Amino acid sequence: MNTKKIWMISVILGMAVAAFAYITIFSKETVTTASGTESSQEQKKEDQSSKQAEKKKEEKAKKPEREFTNSIVAVSKGKRAISLKVNLEQGVSGYVAPNSMVDVIAYETTKDDATGKEFKSSVLVLENAKVLTSGKSADNKAEALQYETVTVEVTPEEGVMLGLAAKDKDGFYLMLRNTEDTESGKAGIKQTREVIKE
């Protein structure tokens, strides 16, 4: 074989091997660079989301929390809290405390238009209600004993019923229960009497 032909074949094969090596090496770098770019973009997104979460935590920490001097028992899941206006005698003379159990009596006055007579009724509207607190949230311990409101735990339906009953000017009375007394089924008991005017 001629030396010139050997050199030509060597150059052509060398170029083919170089081209093959060039394609394989640079195509891997491109793939690596592309995946590296994607992972760096994902890392940036994660960093941004963690920074946003930290920023929200800081904002929450900066907001002043409302402080209650007169604490309240936590409301159970599915229940609501409603405050009833009472005076000292209606509120069991100051003996109602958080976690006490009470029955609630509502009063109403009706008038018979035909006879002109007035009637006063008392109805047991709620049994075995848990007291969450007495008094206002800003009351100190001494003021909380002279409460004008009692907050009880109710279902939404009981809350609606008590809200309507609260609109009657005659108000509520509370009956303090023994915490071990769980008997119920007497709600709806009603007593009515004629109001005698002198």
pLDDT single digits (tens) 39-87: 667 777 777 777 777 777 776 666 556 566 567 788 889 999 888 888 7
130 and 85 share a domain? yes
Residue 9 has pLDDT above 70, yes or no: yes
What confidence tier does 153 reach under pLDDT thresholds 50, 70, 90?
very high
55 and 125 share a domain? no
Which among 65, 98, 115 is the end of a domain?
A: 65
CA distances (Å), origin 54, targets 46, 58, 60, 61, 98: 12, 6, 10, 10, 37
53 and 99 share a domain? no
Cβ atoms < 10 Å from Cβ of 128: 15
Domain-located, residue 71: no
The owner of tokens 């071990």 is 180
Domain-located, residue 70: no
Q: What is the pLDDT, as a whole number, of residue 155?
A: 92
110 and 175 share a domain? yes
Which domain does 2 fall in, by range?
1-65
Structure tokens at 42: 């994902």
Total domains, the chain: 2
pTM: 0.57
Closest CA to 151 of 170, 172, 167, 169: 172
As beta bridge partners, residue 120 has 109, 193
Domain-located, residue 74: no
133 and 49 share a domain? no
Domain-located, residue 13: yes
Domain-located, residue 15: yes
Q: 156 by DSSP, 3-state: which?
A: helix
141 and 186 share a domain? yes
